[in-house]
Amino acid sequence: MKSVLSERQTLHPSDIERRDLPESATRAIRHLAAEIAVTVGPNPETATTLAHPVLLRHIDAKYGRLPDAVHEAMRPPATDSGVTVIRPLSIGDEELGLTPHDWRQAAAQAGDRGHRSASFELDIAMLLLARCAGEPFGWEGQQGGRLVNNIVPTPGHEHEQSGASSTTLLSPHTEDAFHPDRANLLMLGCLRNPDRVGTTVASVRRTELSAAQRETLGRARLPILPDVSYGTGFADGHAPAVATLGTDDGGLTLRFDPAYTPLDTADLEFQSAYRHLAAELERVCITAALAPGEVLLVDNDVVVHGRVPFTPRYDGTDRWLKRVNIRLPQRRREIAGRGDAAAAAEDGYGQRVVAPFRTSRGSNT
Please compute the mean of the pLDDT values over residues 311-340 and round it to a whole number: 83
Q: pLDDT by residue (tens digit) across 216-228? A: 999 999 999 998 8
The CA angle 199-204-210, to the nearest 5 degrees, is 145
Task: Report residue 361's pLDDT band, with 50, 70 and 90 as the boundaries.
Answer: low
pLDDT confidence of residue 130: 98
Q: pLDDT by residue (tens digit) across 89-114? A: 989 999 999 999 999 999 888 877 66
pLDDT confidence of residue 14: 65
Task: Report residue 259's pLDDT band, with 50, 70 and 90 as the boundaries.
Answer: very high
Q: What are residue 173's phi and psi, to 5 degrees? A: -160, 155
- Architecture in CATH of 13-349: 4-Layer Sandwich (3.60)
Instruction: Please say if the pLDDT value at position 7 is more than 70.
Output: no
Instruction: Please say if the pLDDT value at position 337 is more than 80.
Output: no
Q: What are residue 305's phi and psi, to 5 degrees? A: -130, 160
Please compute the mean of the pLDDT values over residues 315-338 and round it to a whole number: 85
Query: For residues 74 and 133, what is the distance between their CA atoms, to the nearest angstrom?
Result: 5
Q: Which residue has the higher pLDDT, 363 or 72?
A: 72
Tell me the residue type at 178: F
Task: Report residue 345's pLDDT band, with 50, 70 and 90 as the boundaries.
Answer: low
Instruction: Please say if the pLDDT value at position 3 is more than 60.
Output: no
Instruction: Please say if the pLDDT value at position 318 is more than 90.
Output: yes
pLDDT confidence of residue 365: 44
Q: What's 84's DSSP letter? A: E
Give percent above pLDDT 70 in the chain.
89
Going from the C-alpha of 327 to that of each of 83, 131, 269, 355, 359, the distances in angstroms are 16, 10, 34, 9, 10
Query: For residues 84 and 181, what is the distance between their CA atoms, to the nearest angstrom?
Result: 22
Tell me what the pLDDT averaged over the chain comes to: 89
pLDDT confidence of residue 109: 85
Task: Report residue 6's pLDDT band, with 50, 70 and 90 as the boundaries.
Answer: very low
Q: pLDDT by residue (tens digit) across 145-198? A: 999 999 999 998 788 888 878 888 888 999 999 999 999 999 999 999 999 999
Q: pLDDT by residue (tens digit) across 40-64? A: 987 787 888 899 999 999 999 999 9
pTM: 0.92
Q: What's 101's DSSP letter? A: S
CA neighbor of 121 nearest in space, from 133, 110, 136, 109: 110
pLDDT confidence of residue 364: 47
CB 171 within 8 A of CB 2: yes
Strands 185-192 and 245-248: unpaired
CB 304 within 8 A of CB 296: no
Least confident segment among 13-22, 48-57, 205-214: 13-22
